[in-house]
Structure 1
Amino acid sequence: MATTHDGPLSPRGGGPLSSIHDGPLSPAERAALGKEARARVPRSAHGVFEPDEKRPDPIDIIERQSATRIRELVPVRYGRMLESPFRFYRGAAAIMASDLGAGAHTGLFAQLCGDAHLLNFRLLASPERHLVFDINDFDETLPGPFEWDVKRLAASLVIAGRANGFPAKRCDTLVRAAVASYRERMWEFAGLRTLDVWYARDDFGQMQTLLDRPLRKDDEQRASRASAKARSRTSLHAAAKLTRVEGGVHRIISDPPLITPLDELLAGAERGELERMLQDLITGYMSTLSSERRHVLSRFHVADMARKVVGVGSVGTRCWIILLLGRDDEDPLLLQAKEAGTSVLAPYCGASQYENQGERVVAGQRLMQAASDIFLGWKHVTGFDGLERDFYVRQLRDWKGIARPETMDAETLALFARMCGASLARAHARSGDPIAIAAYLGRGDSFDRALVEFARAYADQNERDHRALADAVTEGRVTARTDLAA
């Protein structure tokens, strides 16, 4: 039988379905494990979200995160979260992890994204230069109950639908589209051989086949524009926007506090220490790349570095962009080195097997993504302030196409929801047991209907938490800076 997880989850859900067993399990036995999980947590139970009086203060949760971040950037984070309930949700992964960790779970584990809201699904480039649709952000990745990612996606769809002014029934349709797509795709993977599951990927040009329905003409045009725009987002494009040549020297353009070159952050010995730390980071991280990728990267040299503010939830973490040049100034490469802290899931799923949090992020990304950035790696460094931190490194841009749900009508957003659900199922099937998960979900729509109820309730809670942040700003409990565009 499956081994039992010894982390914080065990008392409530009976432990995960591990890939390590006392002996080989047949498909029928694996399906039986999935059905047994229904006795612990009926599918209908997922529809319930009723926070009790002991629910932690959401502002306390995000304040604890902010305590380890760059102090002058924390108001930028709160300013971005204050803009709308959806922007708040993007920065509130720790709050939702606390809510999910307080409830029952299936015990059926997969590698989780940890922050699977709809904007973390996008177009990406494979190493073979194919345009694929996949999950993008893995800062919170950790093994955990598969349904937690599905719930985060479902709630994000209701929140986005409400932002677009869609009526409640339209928002319900978005959740049904995503969850049904997840369930149906998981059943497909349950019937595949192991390597066929591993080799599966979602080439953007074949997404219509995956969706099993014709696209409207305007959606075809939208897809074509998205593909062309994604392919234009290269290092050359990024360098054209973020750098310029000054006195014959290639430099990153200053735009504080969003982009701040080293010369403007520190001076003298401290500036030199910071530059050495970043040089060591780039040189040292190369050891985590495969030999042929180290060879390619060794043909570039560092030209400039700057601190960058990224995203919503990550604002205030230490993030650096590094400009490298190859054969000449017309051969740029921009890398991003981002601080990796402990996953927000760790208090509820247990500590990562990786001591280096950057390695945790990279390992989770490689496990969940069908094709990862060729320059994805990690490094542990000691900063000029004497504090030790973990980082992961990747290209700043490589054919990334980002969805704009605020421009989508209900039918287009439902189509996007189906794409997200299908992609998430593929990611989970690579690390979890698709047979057991499919057996738990079943062929009917019980789980789908439950997630509709959950997503409604959690979207309501998210609105209350967003108001709590607004109240905290008004009362002077926290400071928000609202004059900077994301």
Structure 2
Amino acid sequence: MSPLPTPQERADLGRAARERLPHDRLGRLDLPADRTDLVAHLEEQAPTRLPELVPLRHARMSASALACYRGAAATMAGDLAAGPTTGLGVQLCGDAHLSNFGLFASPERRLLFDLNDFDETYPGPFEWDLKRLTASLVLAGRANGLGRNRCRKAARAAVRSYRDGMADFATRRTLEVWYARAEVDAVRKLLQGRMTERQRRGVAATVDKARRSDTLRAWRKLAETVDGRARLRSDPPLVVPVRDLLPEVEASQVADWMAGLLDGYAATLREDHRALLGRFGFVDLARKVVGVGSVGTRCWIVLLQGRDAHDPLLLQVKEAQPSVLAPVVPADLVADVPRNEGERVVAGQRLMQAASDVFLGWQRVRGLDGQQRDFYVRQLRDMKGSAAIERLDASGLRLYAELCGWTLARAHARSGDPVALAAYLGRGDAVPEALAEFAGAYADLAERDHAALVAAIHDGRVRAEVR
């Protein structure tokens, strides 16, 4: 192992990045002259998705500007690549909008707040995640009827929290940074004096709901017992058991295919977790529709059973396609990205999250259509929870923005250099002001993209169908 740079040398790297990208330039929206618009991106992506679900994806995206933005990660990636970057690399979430933060259980059964979606994770310049987050905060604020000034304050609060968090991580020992986490009980205690009584009740309800949202609760909602045997319920098009998708012989072949996938995936787990998985047997599987941007990708839920029918394990097996960032991230910031897309997702998640699911793993298999496909696997709904974004008022959105900003800083500090990042950000408000300016400009663009999608649906260029 070679000697590492000194803290002073690392800080110098951060200050040098200001020469490449001065703080005020962060606020500029530099769009490519030949920008591929949102509708064109959707048309390009459609052939990689299940054709019968593509109209549902379009319908979900057309619901609002924020929903459209959530499904438009590829469009924003191309937009971000048109401008200069700091050159300060981290492991990016790749889709760090405010709805991709939430609650989940650590292996020790502690409830944490963290990033929870890594389909687009990839190495890249740290500011791209911040820009994705701040623009989503502005769009959420506008959807909730907040004025532009209050939306700008929320975006600025997120960046200030990121800046202050990174400054703190820059002074900590390496292991302290690695073990940092946002445990929900500690966060609630920290924010107690800043929340209204209504906000405290809302947070308590969200936390209580997350703690109840465990495997047994998911099993009671998603499964049923017929003739003494457990099976997954049918709720088309969101959940369709394999028995309803295909004739009996083909359904049996798909079940065998899934069993083979799980056998191979088990090899990517830690030895003790592999032994734990081995205590469960296959029962049933169903196709599941998830998210907004992910609609149409191949996603399955698998019901496994341990000691008896009251000892279930639910796994989500989700297709991992190439990250939208892969074609556009500067080459000098990319090194050693796994070629298996499932492994890329898992590696990014393990690197960025404070604690990851014990059943998180990956596998590459030949798909049912004969094409080679990558998947990643994780538990379904293990004490997961999320904020009611649509009910956040100005102060609630600002508090949530601060929590997301700190959480993103912690995730970036694990893979990037917190000393260099803190030196670039500085202590003043130049970066928060610039990124708040960018967020407002990009939110305007996202609203125009949404209007274009709605128009394309109306004109028949894009098919949308809610079922």
TM beyond 0.5: yes
Would you say 1:368 and 2:352 are equivalent positions? Answer: yes
Task: Give the match's secondary structure for 1:296.
Answer: helix
Alpha-carbon spacing, 1:27–1:211, altered in 2? closer, same or farther (3 Å): farther
Aligned to 2:462: 478
Is contact 1:303–1:324 with CA below 8 Å preserved after alignment? yes
Aligned to 2:316: 336
Would you say 1:142 and 2:151 are equivalent positions? Answer: no
Would you say 1:286 and 2:266 are equivalent positions? Answer: yes
Q: How far apart in 2 are the matches of 1:209 and 1:304? A: 42
Is contact 2:182–2:407 with CA below 8 Å preserved after alignment? yes
Output the amino acid matched with 2:245. L
> How far is the alpha carbon of 1:59 from its aligned partner?
1.1
Task: Give the match's secondary structure for 1:222.
Answer: helix
Would you say 1:410 and 2:414 are equivalent positions? Answer: no
Would you say 1:439 and 2:423 are equivalent positions? Answer: yes
Aligned to 2:342: 358
CA-to-partner distance for each residue in 1:363-394, whole Å, 9 max, x for gaps? 00000000001100000111232111000000
Task: Give the match's secondary structure for 2:383.
Answer: coil
Aligned to 1:381: 365
Q: How far apart in 2 are the matches of 1:330 and 1:378? A: 27
**What are the residue-to-residue correspondences of 1:79-478 with 2, within 5 Å?**
79-208=59-188, 214-349=194-329, 353-478=337-462
Output the amino acid matched with 2:410. R
Alpha-carbon spacing, 1:209–1:441, altered in 2? closer, same or farther (3 Å): farther
Alpha-carbon spacing, 1:224–1:212, altered in 2? closer, same or farther (3 Å): closer
> How far is the alpha carbon of 1:210 from its aligned partner?
5.5
> How far is the alpha carbon of 1:209 from its aligned partner?
6.0
Task: Give the match's secondary structure for 2:48.
Answer: coil
Output the amino acid matched with 2:45. Q
Task: Give the match's secondary structure for 1:104.
Answer: coil
Output the amino acid matched with 1:355. R
5+ residue gaps, structure 1, are 1-19
Task: Give the match's secondary structure for 2:31.
Answer: coil
Is contact 1:78–1:480 with CA below 8 Å preserved after alignment? yes
The 4+ residue runs of structure 1 with deviation greater than 6 A are none
Is contact 1:62–1:95 with CA below 8 Å preserved after alignment? no
Q: How far apart in 1 are the matches of 2:84 and 2:282? A: 49
Task: Give the match's secondary structure for 2:363.
Answer: strand
Q: How far apart in 2 are the matches of 1:142 and 1:211? A: 32
Task: Give the match's secondary structure for 2:194.
Answer: coil
Q: How far apart in 2 are the matches of 1:158 and 1:403? A: 16
Q: How far apart in 1 are the matches of 2:95 and 2:57? A: 17
**What are the residue-to-residue correspondences of 1:20-35 with 2, within 5 Å?**
23-35=3-15
Task: Give the match's secondary structure for 1:323.
Answer: strand
Q: How far apart in 1 are the matches of 2:225 and 2:218? A: 14
Is contact 1:74–1:316 with CA below 8 Å preserved after alignment? yes
Task: Give the match's secondary structure for 2:149.
Answer: helix
Is contact 2:32–2:79 with CA below 8 Å preserved after alignment? no
Aligned to 1:15: none
Q: How far apart in 1 are the matches of 2:460 and 2:313? A: 43
Q: How far apart in 2 are the matches of 1:52 and 1:105? A: 14
Is contact 2:31–2:83 with CA below 8 Å preserved after alignment? no
5+ residue gaps, structure 2, are none
Is contact 1:319–1:338 with CA below 8 Å preserved after alignment? yes
Would you say 1:46 and 2:23 are equivalent positions? Answer: no
Is contact 1:273–1:384 with CA below 8 Å preserved after alignment? no
Output the amino acid matched with 1:282. L
Moved more, 326-335 or 158-167: 326-335
CA-to-partner distance for each residue in 1:132-189, whole Å, 9 max, x for gaps? 1000000000110000000000000000000001011110110011110000000000
Aligned to 1:6: none
User: Share of identical aligned residues, percent?
Assistant: 55
**2:44 is matched with which residue: 61, 64, 67?**
64
TM (norm. structure 2) is: 0.97
Output the amino acid matched with 1:465. D
Output the amino acid matched with 1:168. R
CA-to-partner distance for each residue in 1:439-470, whole Å, 9 max, x for gaps? 00000010000011100000000011111111
> How far is the alpha carbon of 1:282 from its aligned partner?
1.2
Is contact 2:346–2:361 with CA below 8 Å preserved after alignment? yes
Output the amino acid matched with 1:178. A
Is contact 1:32–1:436 with CA below 8 Å preserved after alignment? yes
> How far is the alpha carbon of 1:348 from its aligned partner?
1.1
Q: How far apart in 2 are the matches of 1:300 and 1:420? A: 36
TM (norm. structure 1) is: 0.93
Q: How many pairs align?
A: 463
Is contact 1:127–1:371 with CA below 8 Å preserved after alignment? yes
> How far is the alpha carbon of 1:270 from its aligned partner?
3.2
* Aligned CA-pair RMSD: 1.5
Moved more, 22-31 or 177-186: 22-31
> How far is the alpha carbon of 1:26 from its aligned partner?
0.6
Q: How far apart in 1 are the matches of 2:32 and 2:128? A: 19
> How far is the alpha carbon of 1:355 from its aligned partner?
1.2
Output the amino acid matched with 1:421. G
Is contact 1:277–1:382 with CA below 8 Å preserved after alignment? no
Output the amino acid matched with 2:409. A
Output the amino acid matched with 2:338. Y
> How far is the alpha carbon of 1:353 from its aligned partner?
1.9
Q: How far apart in 2 are the matches of 1:51 and 1:297? A: 48
